[in-house]
Structure 1
């Protein structure tokens, strides 16, 4: 996910990436046209907020007063890799990124359900296995700064 401008390369490159704000939950050659889908939502649903609050408080004990006020969730469900042949099309990944904030402090949570491949053919991967080449990476590069008392990303 990129924030301040589109980012179109599917093969991971070394960080830092000048001028880019990027959350890479699984930076690889995902191809949705073969299989799977991507969806996202921003919510203030009380049950979702409570789940995010509990998750943060249980993993960051010093954040016992954190109470989520907003959650953004993006899910890549059962997605295939770019260049998959007939055998490779059976390899699927499911992963998710959750962003949550209380308006002052923000957290990014990565969830992985099923990972069966890590590289598409555009990154040198094998078309039948989705392995080899330049593998997927997980990264976070956000530059934060204060403007008129608001936290900007």
Structure 2
């Protein structure tokens, strides 16, 4: 399993020129996800989130620092967050707008090394409940393109452990 520094990820995502006639990704902010203030029905998706679902979007956020990174995915939030899975179990302090970033199937065994600070990602946004193999349910997923994590110089290899 390869441990890929996020700097390599950010260098390869969203920084290339668009081909002629290509539609640029929608610029979406985490604050665009749910209506504010929260009403009596709880969180309600905004028209902007519903319209962006299924389309290429560009998000700027923070990678969640986890004790146990999950192969093929990581979490992106509007603010820096750390998760202590051993100490807290299923309880976490993740914001409702947390996005699960899903690597392409061909890279489903890759771990992406934690990187502090904000960064931009571009991918296809998916809104709606989905359960992963660990049982975690996500409402927002960003599916990266197949070439988003192309091998970069300086990428370190590391074994995956549970």
TM-score range, shorter chain: under 0.3
Higher strand content, 1 or 2 = 1
Q: TM-score, normalised by structure 1?
A: 0.25
Q: TM-score, normalised by structure 2?
A: 0.24
Whose Rg is larger? 1
